[in-house]
Amino acid sequence: MQVREESANSEGFWELASGIDALYLSGRTTIPGELAARLQAIRAEGDDTGGRIPLVLGGVEFEVAPHGWGKYRYCLKHRNGQIGLTPSKSLPAIRIQPRAEFLHGVGPEVVVGWFRNVLERELQFVRLTVSRVDIYADFQGWRLEVDDRYRFVSRAKDLATYEESEEFNGLQFGKRGSQTVSARIYDKTVESAKKGSAYWRDIWGTRYVDGLPVLRIEFEIGRQALRQYGLDTPEEVLEASGALWASLTSGWLSYRVGADDQTKARWPVAPEWEQVCRARVADGAFGIERMYAGKRRGDLHKLAPGLVGYLSNFAALTGHESFEETFDQLGRFVWWYGKVTGQTFKERTAEKQRRYALP
């Protein structure tokens, strides 16, 4: 096995953003009988109609999905995230997953406070704990190659490589969902384009160089690992996020400069990784409206190929060439289709707005 010994100049390697990218919470409480009965009635109605039924919880309107969420029978959806509820005594009564746009828009402390306030207005007292937290840092100026995997030293036994269109795209250390620690290093620009999360351009700001890949380094820390660190509540985890990053990048995973030594753990730490260790892991709040606007831009970008294709097909079939003639004819066609199907365009639009969680 041949290992490249050269290392990129860390001065040409810069941080764009860092912080918490996911925060999953559990809540222990007692669900009142009256709320349990309401949920049961709403789910029964949803099972019959196949639709989502509104429910006001703690003064906030959610939609009860016509399906459960894993082991949680009731799934409540909101623009800011979703809540799972269960009457089972073998599980925490509450499961919480904030939306990424909400998390980056207002910051994790505000997210925790919002969900806690909603739940405690309805349930009096809820003990929240963290079941998983993802900590990340994004950089530009470092291009990983597939052979670079031999230069990493990790406590994880499992190592997997990722490809995108037969091109190397990153590495996975450990197993995700293991409740311990796993890490991913990958091209965030590729994933962002695929998911339509265009708000990352807003987060990266003026330091982002268009056309240059963004290297995401991300640790997924599960419940078991958090308890080993002595962390349990959201406040404890958020306060310790910087210390967690320092611990994981110094002891759990590192990137080395190849040396004439059979033991990789004795190889010098690469300059790039020294900079990774210094990531700020800032508690960023980038503005909720900016985040949702970025999400909409990404969704529109994904719609563009199909939308333009359908419109050009419509223009060809109706014998029009200009935008004005096409859209005039399209308006009449959509009105006619609404009359035939019994659902107006306005009603369809309202349904999609709920689905996209738009204000």
Contact yes or no for 283/108 (Cβ under 8 A) = yes
153 & 264 share domain: yes
Same domain, 216 and 83: no
Residue 302 has what pLDDT? 52
Question: Does residue 99 share a domain with residue 173?
Answer: no
Distance (Å, whole) CA 337 – CA 332: 9
Do 44 and 86 fall into the same domain?
Answer: yes
Q: Is the pLDDT of residue 220 over 70?
A: yes
In a domain, 1, yes or no: no
Domain boundary among 107, 125, 143: 125
Residue 299, pLDDT above cutoff 70: no
With respect to residue 332, please indicate whether it lies within any of the assigned structural domains: yes
Record the pTM.
0.75
Q: Which residue has the higher pLDDT, 177 or 274?
A: 274
Q: Is residue 262 part of a domain?
A: yes
Helix (H, G, I), strand (E, B) or coil at 249: helix
Give the per-residue pLDDT at 354.
59
User: Residue 13: exposed, middle, or buried by beta-carbon count in 10 A (0-12, 13-18, 19+)?
Assistant: middle
* Domain identity same for 313 and 350: yes
For residues 157 and 193, membership in a common domain is answered with yes
| Alpha-carbon gap, residue 292 to 290, rounded angstroms | 6
Q: Which long-range contacts (CB under 8 A, 24 or more apart) does 229-236 make?
A: 231/130, 232/129, 232/130, 233/128, 233/129, 233/130, 234/23, 234/25, 234/108, 234/112, 234/128, 234/129, 234/130, 235/112, 236/130
Domain end call among 125, 155, 185: 125
The answer to whether residues 236 and 316 belong to one domain is no
Domain span at 110? 30-125
157, 17: one domain = yes
Give the total number of structural domains in the chain. Answer: 3
Phi, psi of 320 (to 5 degrees): -115, 155
Are 310 and 211 found together in one domain?
no
Q: Mean pLDDT, to the nearest integer, of 201-214?
A: 90
Distance CA 186, CA 173 (A): 11
Q: Is residue 3 part of a domain?
A: no
Identify whether residues 16 and 41 lie together within a single domain. no
- Is 165 among the domain residues? yes
Distances (CA, A) of 71 to 38, 138, 202, 298: 19, 34, 36, 31
pLDDT band of residue 50 (cuts 50, 70, 90) is low
Burial class for 241, CB neighbours closer than 10 Å (0-12, 13-18, 19+):
buried
Shared-domain flag, residues 121 and 136: no
What pLDDT score does 15 carry? 93
| Domain-embedded: residue 245 | yes
Last residue of a domain, one of 88, 109, 125: 125
Percent of the chain predicted with pLDDT > 70: 83
Q: Is the pLDDT of residue 356 over 70?
A: no
According to the model, what pLDDT value does residue 309 have? 67
294 class by beta-carbon count within 10 Å (0-12 exposed, 13-18 middle, 19+ buried): buried
- Please count the other Cβ atoms lying within 10 Å of the Cβ belonging to residue 276: 26
Whole-angstrom Cα distance, residue 203 to residue 201? 5
Indicate whether 5 belongs to any domain.
no
What is the pLDDT of the chain when averaged over all its residues?
84
Q: Residue 331 pLDDT > 90, yes or no?
A: no
Rounded distance, CA 138 to CA 68, Å? 34
Distance CA 58, CA 120 (A): 7
Whether 307 shows a pLDDT value over 70: the answer reads no
Answer whether residue 173 is part of any domain.
yes
238: Cα separation from own chain's centroid? 17
Residue 214 CA to its chain's centroid (Å): 16
Q: Both 17 and 162 in a single domain?
A: yes
Q: What is the pLDDT of residue 99?
A: 93
Q: Give, in degrees to the nearest 5, the angle at Cα 324 between 322 and 330.
A: 100
- CB 146 within 8 Å of CB 161: yes
